[in-house]
Structure 1
Amino acid sequence: MNDLATTVLLVDDHPLLRKGLQQLIDLEDELTVIGEAASGKEGLQLAIEHDPDLIILDLNMQGMDGLETLKAMRANDVTSRIIMLTVSDNDEDVLTAISYGADGYLLKDMDPEDILEKIKQAALGKMVLSEKLTGVLAQAIRKPDVSQKANILNSLTSREFEILKLIAKGLSNKLIARELDISDGTVKVHVKHLLKKLNLRSRVEAAVWMINQQKGA
């Protein structure tokens, strides 16, 4: 096992799908599966226990579903990047997952190679979304209160604004910390503050909103 590999936790109630994902991920030296969970409850426990770099989470599970699991993970301060992998391309599911703090949303009908490529991108700190879902997200975040948020943008410190721009480029906390020569913990605190100031619920919302701001500038 590569000590520098991105650690991945699989949470899905279909054993066959978990096995397929495991085999897919095993093809990549830079990724390693450190755990599997067959339910949301088990996934939450493993996420808290192992603090993986990346969690791949199914949406439709018996008992505690993916959205509940995602919400519980974020409520328990799980800072792993969390990617939803599901059959549902329902707009509401996509937007709810993003607002609950998901870092990406992939559909199970994608080619395995494409899924693996997106997982690798997510491991590098990028947001990942199935192609046909990008419009859904962009449209939802183009809200009428843009001018109000533009004023709030002025309330950010220069460091928070700097971090917001790097989030919009798809960088993870780890990469932002390296770029600005500060600790991961400091980045997390800044991200928390800027999301609160902008009244946004996740990094993905912040990134898409910032991109729209830059387009409108």
Structure 2
Amino acid sequence: MPAPAPPPDPAAALPPDPGSALPPEAAVASIPEPTDSTTAPAPYGPGPVASATPIRILLADDHALVRRGVRLILEREPDLRVVAEAGDGAEAVEAARGQDIDLAVLDIAMPRMTGLQATRALATLKPGLRILMLTMHDNEQYLFQALKAGAGGYVLKSVADRDLVAACRAAMRDEPFLYPGAVTALIRTYLDRVRHGEENADSLLTPREEEVLKLVAEGHSSKDIADILVISIKTVHRHRANLLQKLGLRDRLELTRYAIRAGLIEP
């Protein structure tokens, strides 16, 4: 069934999870129980993260049967272990205080404290903690709010059996994990901002600074650049200094490498 329209502040008030209106058996229907380990297919995505100990996971969802299904998906992998569970966001924050955990997997729509609120609290409480959102809401507003709050990935419950393990491993490699629809939403939003002048891929440098950068990278001297652009040598030096400062670079060589990456000159 379609996700309800999001409220103005999804972090403060979220619509009930669609699963909450269904019996527990239906709520977990979209999270198939894994097959026996002897017949289970190989996990999606890269293999286990190299580690002497399993990744310690905090799992928070207000449906006990959903947690059970998710736990079975995770713990069939030798490098993943659920060490704590919580029924809402507030319980998740408290569990994180008393447990050594590496990764939190949080539902968005939970009582008392939502997953978004819990993400903000956990990001402050444990800055190094990785956080994934696991939700039934295929909703752009929740996606953006989750990423802004500090989540490193957004996984839909409907494909948890396919994506969740890969998402956990990606999070531990400090890599973002988004389902294909979320990637499309991010690109569409960025392009909309560019069209409306709210975002510009080249806004870091002014047009004049870009001209100076190109000429510097092509090997022209400050005098040559001044003659080509009809500006003073002093102005060229000021532009070069601004370029180095803005880009965090040190010398002409690094400016040249940047110009190549930016497509201003051919390597």
Which residue number in structure 1 is paired with residue 136 of structure 2?
A: 87
Verify the 8 A CA contact 2:123 2:129 in the aligned structure 1. no
Which residue number in structure 1 is paired with residue 152 of structure 2?
A: 103
Code of the aligned partner of 2:155 = L
Are residue 64 (structure 1) and residue 113 (structure 2) matched?
yes
Q: How does 1:111-126 map to 2 (within 5 A)?
A: 112-126=161-175
Counterpart-to-counterpart distance in 2, 1:14 and 1:97 = 20
Q: How does 1:147-186 map to 2 (within 5 A)?
A: 147-149=202-204, 155=246, 157=248
Verify the 8 A CA contact 2:131 2:151 in the aligned structure 1. yes
Counterpart-to-counterpart distance in 2, 1:141 and 1:58 = 26
Which residue number in structure 1 is paired with residue 88 of structure 2?
A: 39
Verify the 8 A CA contact 2:155 2:163 in the aligned structure 1. no
Q: TM-score, normalised by structure 2?
A: 0.54
Q: TM-score, normalised by structure 1?
A: 0.65
Verify the 8 A CA contact 2:204 2:246 in the aligned structure 1. no
Counterpart-to-counterpart distance in 2, 1:74 and 1:140 = 25
Match of 1:55 among 104, 117, 122: 104
1:31 CA displacement? 1.0
Which structure: greater helix fraction? Answer: 1
Cα distance, 1:94–1:76 mapped onto 2, change above 3 Å: same
Which residue number in structure 2 is paired with residue 208 of structure 1?
A: none
- Tell me the SS of whatever aligns to 1:34: strand
- In structure 1, runs of 5+ residues without a counterpart are 159-213
Are residue 132 (structure 1) and residue 181 (structure 2) matched?
yes
Verify the 8 A CA contact 2:122 2:129 in the aligned structure 1. no
Verify the 8 A CA contact 1:48 1:78 in the aligned structure 2. no
Counterpart-to-counterpart distance in 2, 1:86 and 1:216 = 40
Cα distance, 1:25–1:70 mapped onto 2, change above 3 Å: same
Which residue number in structure 1 is paired with residue 13 of structure 2?
A: none
1:215 CA displacement? 8.0
Are residue 24 (structure 1) and residue 78 (structure 2) matched?
no
- Tell me the SS of whatever aligns to 1:109: helix
**Alpha-carbon displacement from aligned partner over 1:167-217 (angstroms, at most 9, x marks no partner):** xxxxxxxxxxxxxxxxxxxxxxxxxxxxxxxxxxxxxxxxxxxxxxx7887
Are residue 145 (structure 1) and residue 199 (structure 2) matched?
yes
Cα distance, 1:72–1:5 mapped onto 2, change above 3 Å: same
Verify the 8 A CA contact 2:59 2:106 in the aligned structure 1. yes
Are residue 7 (structure 1) and residue 61 (structure 2) matched?
no
1:16 CA displacement? 0.6
- Tell me the SS of whatever aligns to 1:32: strand
**Alpha-carbon displacement from aligned partner over 1:7-45 (angstroms, at most 9, x marks no partner):** 111011110111111111111111111111111111012
Q: Sequence identity, in percent?
A: 29
Code of the aligned partner of 1:133 = A
Counterpart-to-counterpart distance in 2, 1:35 and 1:74 = 17
Counterpart-to-counterpart distance in 1, 2:204 and 2:123 = 24
Cα distance, 1:89–1:150 mapped onto 2, change above 3 Å: farther
Cα distance, 1:145–1:18 mapped onto 2, change above 3 Å: same
Cα distance, 1:84–1:215 mapped onto 2, change above 3 Å: farther
- In structure 2, runs of 5+ residues without a counterpart are 1-50, 207-241, 250-260
1:155 CA displacement? 3.6
Which residue number in structure 2 is paired with residue 181 of structure 1?
A: none
